[in-house]
Amino acid sequence: MAGKKQLNHIAIIMDGNGRWAERENVERVEGHRAGAKALKRTVEAAMDLGIKYLTVYAFSTENWKRSPKEVNALMSLLRDFVDNDLAEIDEKGIRINVIGRIEQIPWITRRKLQKAIRATKNNTAGTLTLALSYGGRAEVIDATKKIAEDVAAKKIKASAIDESLFQNYLYDPELPDPELLIRTSGELRTSNFLLWQLSYSEFYFTDVLWPDFDKNELGKAVEFYNSRERRFGGR
Ligand code: FPP
């Protein structure tokens, strides 16, 4: 159909791990552990559907305010994810990518992530981008600082600043804009995720808690996107 935009990039706010833990009467950490499993399932399901890019909000700039116990548990889950699931992810041809203020991530976790990024850099089946210590406003500010430095150093002219130049200063300039944002657990907010990149995205909200998310739920979100495109695509 004329104008139909192929679904190429899905962004996800993986919300509701804490409420899932409460519902199951287990510790919050267990909710995050189940969330990591849901992430692995979803990466596989997305790749099966031919989605080329998946970007997930794994740790926000605001998440540093959680208890040290919870922050440590999330960092340790990230390390486990790289240690246990990297081989399988690599085998499937998926490239690992990270956006955010990654210098704030503890070095041991960061080192493992960097190893995963290097090991998978030539993979072409799809790209999993983990947003870590990420905030949309922080990204815009970090880009603005670098642009200001380059203007001061006379590398660029202030008059040359436009959307395409700004894009080049984002954490990953190559990352295409997501056509679809999914947020689980019933909250209707973007919570500082991908502020620049979500300008034209469709938003899909579901009450399902992130640890319960699976191939079936992803299918519903994709169906929602396709039905929107059928209605607006031809214009
Ligand atoms: C929101 O749940 C989720 C997070 C703060 C972090 C997301 C992390 C994962 C899915 C698992 C770890 C990730 C990797 C890459 C291994 P919440 O705690 O805000 O839930 P609540 O709103 O119900 O309390």
Position 1 pLDDT exceeds 70: no
| Domain boundaries, given as residue ranges, for the chain | 2-136+177-231
Tens of pLDDT, residue by residue over 32-51, are 999 999 999 999 999 999 99
CA 74 to ligand 1: nearest atom: 12
pLDDT in tens, 63-101: 999 999 999 999 999 999 999 988 888 999 999 999 999
pTM of the shown model: 0.95
For ligand 1, atom 6, the nearest C-alpha belongs to: 58
Res. 2 pLDDT band, cuts 50 70 90: very low
- DSSP element (H, E) containing 201: none
Q: 14, 17, 20, 94: which to mutate for ligand 1, most atoms within 8 A of CB? A: 17
CATH of 2-136+177-231, one of 3.30.1490.20, 3.30.200.20, 3.40.470.10, 3.40.1180.10: 3.40.1180.10
Catalytic residue at 15? yes
DSSP code per residue over 176-191: PPPSEEEE-TT----T
The confidence score (pLDDT) of residue 232 equals 66
Task: List, for residues 179-235, the tens digit of each pLDDT value.
Answer: 999 999 999 999 999 999 999 999 999 999 999 999 999 999 999 999 987 776 655
Question: In the annotation, is 63 catalytic?
Answer: yes
Cα dihedral sign, 12-78-169-51: negative
With contact defined as beta carbons under 8 Å apart, do 202 and 4 qualify? Answer: no
Which atom from ligand 1 is nearest to the alpha carbon of 15?
Answer: 1
- What's the full length of the chain, in residues? 235
